[in-house]
Amino acid sequence: MTAIPRSIDDTIGLLSGTGYVCGRALATVVFLSLRLGRPLFLEGEAGVGKTEIAKALSTALGRRLIRLQCYEGLDAASAVYEWNYPAQMIEIRLAEASGDRDREAIANDLFSERFLVHRPLLDAMSPQPGGAPVLLIDELDRTDEPFEAFLLEALSDFQVTIPEFGTVKAPEPPIVIVTSNRTREVHDALKRRCLYHWVDYPTAERELEILHARAPEVPEQLSREVVSFVQRLRTEDLFKRPGVAETIDWARCLVALDAMALDPQTISDTLGALLKYQDDIARFQGSEAKRLLDQVKAGVEGAA
Ligand SMILES: Nc1ncnc2c1ncn2[C@@H]1O[C@H](COP(=O)(O)OP(=O)(O)OP(=O)(O)O)[C@@H](O)[C@H]1O
Ligand SMILES: [Mg+2]
């Protein structure tokens, strides 16, 4: 277990040790959330490194990562705890067959730790050998409002109540990261409990750093061209703009094809790594790819 960073620079250094490239604005809010013990709410486009920051923090701090993946219809039974009914039934049958225990003893036994199935939120509130875990509540915008209200309560007191069992309170608040793709607005009451940061697409310089960290096998010149091309592509009116994850994927595809530099044909053939909608792909095949590439090459050479 590593201690919480002491400064913003410390935070940047800690995260970069795991290959996560963090700008000053994001590092500031991460640092403050760690220091103040407040949940961090991250919103942004797809593939810009929201989920990854929770993974990076867990690795860097040597804490367990507990992930609650949100989806429509997620309820407390899947998020907090469940009783293991089949095992409880067997226990009842065995007790009936042997007939040597009274009813109250059996009932007490049935609702004990042995039959409790831990789900992510209960796990995050339970004591952990390595210190408070990192709790990632991923893609909160996919759940519905009742679940959000329920979560609000759990995040306010860092405790969950199980009627038959009692209240489990975190000995030390977990490090909470909440992410959203903003397919809907998350309620203000929940946001108010958290520190907020909008994770934007990185600048070209930072994206190049990320590419170096995540795909060091990509040659320098190709990396520069890839980043410039993606940055240029993001300024176009697309149905879905490529994220950092797509930049990395695309660069790896190009290396697998032994491409040393971008050319219009290779771009057209590999657009599926960058763009995931047929309308976007159709637009940038052929002459459009060449037009963008000419602009990018002029820029890259101009900068060299
Ligand atoms: N700042 C960064 N430093 C290092 N790697 C990054 C960074 N940002 C993104 N990545 C890379 O991009 C990939 C995608 O990031 P991640 O899954 O965190 O995106 P996301 O914002 O959670 O997207 P989604 O909204 O689709 O879930 C990561 O696996 C990581 O390799
Ligand atoms: Mg994510």
Domain interval for residue 210: 204-294
The pLDDT assigned to 157 comes to 87
Q: What residue owns the CA closest to ligand 1's atom 13?
A: 245
In whole angstroms, what is the distance from residue 174 CA to residue 39 CA? 9
Judgement on whether residues 99 and 221 belong to the same structural domain of the protein: no
The pLDDT assigned to 97 comes to 85
Q: Following DSSP, what letter does each residue of 144-157 receive, concatenated?
A: -HHHHHHHHHHHHH
DSSP SS3 for 301: helix
Kind and range of the H or E run holding 204:
helix 204-214
Q: pLDDT tens track of the chain, all 304 residues? A: 788 999 999 999 999 999 999 999 999 999 999 999 999 999 999 999 999 999 999 999 999 999 999 999 998 889 999 999 999 999 888 888 887 777 778 888 889 889 999 999 999 999 888 889 999 999 999 998 889 888 888 888 899 888 888 889 999 999 999 999 998 988 898 999 999 999 999 999 999 999 999 999 999 999 999 999 999 999 999 999 999 999 999 999 999 999 989 999 999 999 999 999 999 999 888 788 899 999 888 876 655 5
Residue 250 Cβ < 6 Å to ligand 1 = no
Judgement on whether residues 180 and 208 belong to the same structural domain of the protein: no
CA-closest candidate to residue 243, choices 108, 49, 70: 49
Judgement on whether residues 216 and 175 belong to the same structural domain of the protein: no
- The residue whose CB lies within 8 Å of the most ligand 1 atoms, and thus the one to mutate among 45, 48, 274, is 48
Residues 6+ apart with CB under 8 A from 134: 54, 57, 58, 61, 63, 64, 65, 66, 174, 175, 176, 177
Residue 107 resides in a domain? yes
Judgement on whether residues 212 and 266 belong to the same structural domain of the protein: yes
In whole angstroms, what is the distance from residue 270 CA to residue 279 CA? 15
Judgement on whether residues 264 and 287 belong to the same structural domain of the protein: yes
Hey, how many other C-beta atoms are within 10 angstroms of the C-beta on 52? 20
Number of domains in the chain: 3
In whole angstroms, what is the distance from residue 157 CA to residue 30 CA? 21
> Quick check: 74 and 211 in contact, CB under 8 A?
no
Judgement on whether residues 101 and 191 belong to the same structural domain of the protein: no
Judgement on whether residues 64 and 185 belong to the same structural domain of the protein: yes
Judgement on whether residues 217 and 262 belong to the same structural domain of the protein: yes
Judgement on whether residues 137 and 34 belong to the same structural domain of the protein: yes
Radius of gyration of the chain (CA): 24
Residue 162 resides in a domain? no
The pLDDT assigned to 108 comes to 82
Residue 240 resides in a domain? yes
The pLDDT assigned to 300 comes to 66
Q: What is the CATH number of the domain that holds 44?
A: 3.40.50.300
CB burial readout 207-242, b (16+ within 10 A) else e: bbbbbeebbeebeeebbbbbbbbbbebeeeebeebb
DSSP SS3 for 294: helix
Residue 165 resides in a domain? no
In whole angstroms, what is the distance from residue 86 CA to residue 108 CA? 17
- CA angle in degrees (0–180, nearest 5) for 21-203-184: 85
Residue 50 Cβ < 6 Å to ligand 1 = yes
Cα of 214 vs centre of ligand 1, distance in Å, is 10
- The residue whose CB lies within 8 Å of the most ligand 1 atoms, and thus the one to mutate among 51, 180, 199, 226, is 51
Residue 46 Cβ < 6 Å to ligand 1 = yes
Cα of 51 vs centre of ligand 1, distance in Å, is 6
Residue 163 resides in a domain? no
User: How far is residue 140 from each of residues 14, 207, 246, measured CA to CA in Å?
Assistant: 26, 26, 22
The pLDDT assigned to 133 comes to 96
